[in-house]
Amino acid sequence: MYQVVFTDKSGVERYTTYESKVMADDGLATYSNMGMANVYLVEI
């Protein structure tokens, strides 16, 4: 399992969990493109 962790525009840290690294990488790119801060990937 993988988590993409990010800080949203209101300054709250949030995360989304993914089953596969491919999906997590896609989520990582999506949140980065949305302008979220401190976006990173964690394997859990």
For residue range 11-41, what is the model confidence (pLDDT) as tens digits?
999 999 999 999 999 999 999 999 999 999 9
Q: Locate tokens 């989304």: which residue?
A: 16
Domain that holds residue 7: 2-43
Distance CA 31, CA 16 (A): 10
pLDDT of res. 36: 96
CB 26 within 8 A of CB 43: no
Q: Which amino acid is at 36?
A: M
pLDDT of res. 39: 97
Helix, strand or coil for residue 27? helix
Number of domains the chain contains: 1
CB 1 within 8 A of CB 17: yes
pLDDT of res. 29: 97
